[in-house]
Amino acid sequence: MEVTKLNHPLVEHKLTILRNKKTGTKEFREIIGELSMMLCYEAMKDAKVEDYEIETPITKMTGKKLNEDNYAFIPILRAGTGMLDGLIKVMPNAKIGHIGMYRDEETLKPVRYFFKTPKDLDKREVIVLDPMLATGGSGCDAIASLKASGAKKLKFLCIIAAPEGIKKMQEEHPDVQIYTAAIDEKLNDIGYIVPGLGDAGDRIFGTK
C-alpha cells in the first residue's frame, strides 16, 4: 500500500516546533497529541457509519454514527502512549491495548516485554501507534504479534517515518496502511532518523 502522508501547512508548522531541540516537554507532548489527532482523522476516512435517528432543537433528522467498539488503539510502549491523548479525543470509547518493546542498542532489534490487547481483535480495526518509524523493527514485530492474536485489519500511525522503516514495513506487512506526518531523509549509523526529532520517548516523558 502507498504511504499516506499528511500535507497541510498546519502540520508543517507543528512539525517544525516538534523537531526544535529547544521545545520543552509540555509543548512537545501537546503537539504529539495534536498531530496524532490529525493522523486519526486521515486514517478514519474509510470508517463505516450507520444511520442514527436524533432530534435537534429544531426538528427530527437522520444522522450518521460509527461504532467505536469496533476499534482498538495499540500504542507501542513507551513512546506510543504519547499519541493516545489525541486519538482518545476523537474516539473516546475505542478499546486500548499495549505492546511493550525496547530496542537493543547493540543489535538495533526490538525486544518485547509486554503484550495486552482487547479481546476479539479479529472483529476490530486495529490502529498501532508509534511516533517514530525508524528501522521498522518494532512496528513489524508488533504487527506480527497482533496478527498472531487474530487481528486482520490493521493500520500504522506515526509522526515521522524513515524510508528504511517504510520499506521494511511494506515488505513484511504489505496489507498494513501507514499514515505519517513526515517522511525524513534516512537513518544515521546508530538507527536514528535524520533530521528527526531525537528520542521521542525521552522528549515526551522528559527523561533526558
What residues act catalytically? Answer: 103, 107, 199, 202
> Measured between alpha carbons, how far is 86 from 127 in angstroms, rounded to an integer?
13
DSSP string across 59-94: -EEEEEE--GGGEEEEEEETGGGGGHHHHHHH-TTS
In the numeric block, the cell 517515518 is attached to: 161
DSSP string across 143-170: HHHHHHTT--EEEEEEEEE-HHHHHHHH
Q: Sort residue 13 into left (φ over 0), alpha (ψ -120 to 50) or beta.
A: alpha
Cell of 144: 506480527
> Measured between alpha carbons, how far is 163 from 116 in angstroms, rounded to an integer?
29
